[in-house]
Amino acid sequence: MILARVDGTLIPATCPPSMVGKRTIICQPLGADGEDIGTPILAYDPLVSGLHQQVLISTDGSQTRQLVGDPHSPLRNFVLALVDPTLSSR
């Protein structure tokens, strides 16, 4: 799992059939201190997270492909949970 911040939404001009109608977001992985780490990643977002919201991303590619219903889908990550900002300030 990866803690990440939603930085945008991907709207492809063309895409594989497994991505049609699936909300795909651009996420910046975050360290424990909330600082950016690494490069942005793409994730399928069935929970419809908001811009700049923190999310937990599952990197289980087989589970992601099962969620979108295509064993050959290029999607490898999905939003597993939305992080409640009021809990992180405690």
Block residue for tokens 């780490």: 37
Give residue 89's pLDDT: 55
Nearest to 40 by CA among 56, 52, 50, 25: 25
pLDDT digits (tens, 9 = 90+) for 56-89: 999 999 999 999 989 998 989 999 999 987 775 5
Nearest to 57 by CA among 88, 82, 21, 90: 82
DSSP 18: G
Count of domains forming the chain: 1
Task: Residue 66: give its domain's CATH number.
Answer: 2.40.50.220
CA 32-51-46 angle, to 5 degrees, is: 90
pLDDT digits (tens, 9 = 90+) for 11-58: 888 888 888 888 999 999 999 888 999 999 999 999 999 999 999 999
